[in-house]
A = this chain, B = another copy of it.
């Protein structure tokens, strides 16, 4: 469905990000998104076959960007523990800098399994694997205990950060600063998984 004219496609996704974040997927109207994007309702259907597809494309695009950025950040450190701390900080920073996107991922990602039966959220799996790989590396380097199961630990760590950011997204004010929260949360896991 995606045509060559990526500019308009991106404009639609940008508008949808704003509207989905404000109203939620189900309450967001195509006409609102079109208006926000400065185009006609029908034009959206030239670029996306269904309303669902906008959300999927939105995920893909945002996650691709997020994934790329995080990979770059992690590669700047060589120590697995430093990588974990950096991951925590940039994950929370990302949320801070992209409230709308964050809110959608927080809220609508959960629903994805419902209305997008066949949508395999590969990008999200890859994001989780960034953490899994760090842990694996830590185990291989003897820094992390062999008892640690990366498949559990990566989810636990992501969940910890995610819940923290959910709290921030939904409450309007931020109680703890990003550095503090990142350091706290990464310290639980670093100390908790240490050999």
Contacts and interface: CB of A to CB of B under 8 A. Distances in A.
A66 interface: no
Residue of A151, A160, A191 with most partner-chain B CB within 10 A: A160
A153 B184 CA distance: 8
A163 B161 CA distance: 10
Main secondary structure of the interface of A (DSSP, over half): helix
Q: How many copies does the complex hold?
A: 4
A178 B193 CA distance: 19
A114 B148 contact: no
A3 interface: no
Interface of A: 23-24, 26-27, 106-107, 110-111, 113-115, 147-149, 151-153, 155-164, 166-167, 170, 175-176, 180-181, 184-185, 187-194
23 contacts: A106-B110, A107-B110, A107-B113, A110-B166, A113-B170, A148-B184, A149-B180, A149-B184, A152-B176, A152-B184, A153-B184, A155-B160, A155-B164, A155-B167, A156-B161, A156-B164, A157-B160, A159-B161, A159-B164, A159-B166, A188-B193, A189-B192, A191-B192
